[in-house]
Amino acid sequence: MILSLQQTAAGRIGIAECEGALTNLYFESDPLPGDAEIGETAFLREAFRQLQAYFQGGLREFDLPLDPRGTPFMREVWRHVAAVPYGRTASYRDVAVAAGNPKAVRAVGMANRLNPVPVFIPCHRIIGSDGKLTGYRGGLPLKERLLDLERCRCAGG
């Protein structure tokens, strides 16, 4: 695993790749893996370019191979989370239903919390059934900023 660190609009972020696919995004508050090789590759430069363009409102969809590691259920949840369009939100219940298990709302929440590539798989777009923001690994203020960024850009701002 090769890990690169850069300052972004969301603070210092680490992005890791393994064999040409993005495997992890680390927020400033996340511990970094001890076995990662700190470095830079053309792939990581492109991942940061796309991430910076997203934060500046110029990119709505990422075009990078992702390899998030998790259980089959987690990967299914992440697939449905990734399908939530830019500027929109879905509830944990919506994702559970889409994943074929309407009673798995808490499990969807856990899979969302363990999403290894937040922002790239937009788990910030998943909210409570009552419309309230709930947990986010990067913190609720960042979740709110990301949602506001997308809403503003969708409204033409």
The predicted-structure confidence for 14-55, as pLDDT tens digits, reads as follows 999 999 999 999 999 999 999 999 999 999 999 999 999 999
Residue 24 in any domain: the answer is yes
Domain with 47, as residue range(s), is 2-55
User: What percent of the chain shows pLDDT beyond 90?
Assistant: 92
Task: Please indicate, yes or no, whether residues 133 and 90 belong to a single structural domain of this protein.
Answer: yes
- pLDDT tens across 105-148, in order? 999 999 999 999 999 999 999 999 999 999 898 999 999 999 99
User: How many structural domains comprise the chain?
Assistant: 2
14 and 82: one domain?
no
pLDDT of residue 157 exceeding 80: no
Which amino acid appears at position 3 of this protein? Answer: L
Does residue 94 sit within a domain? yes
Write down the catalytic residue from 18, 123, 152, 154. 123
> Which DSSP letter does residue 116 get?
S
Task: Please count the other Cβ atoms lying within 10 Å of the Cβ belonging to residue 115.
Answer: 25
Question: Model's pTM, two decimal places?
Answer: 0.93
Residue 64 maps to a domain: no
Active site residue 18: no
Run of H or E residues at 145 = helix 140-154
Tokens 């990078």 belong to residue: 64
76 and 149 share one domain: yes
pLDDT(156) > 70: no
Give the Å distances, CA to CA, from 101 to 85, 111, 129: 21, 13, 16
Contact 154, 86 (CB under 8 A): yes
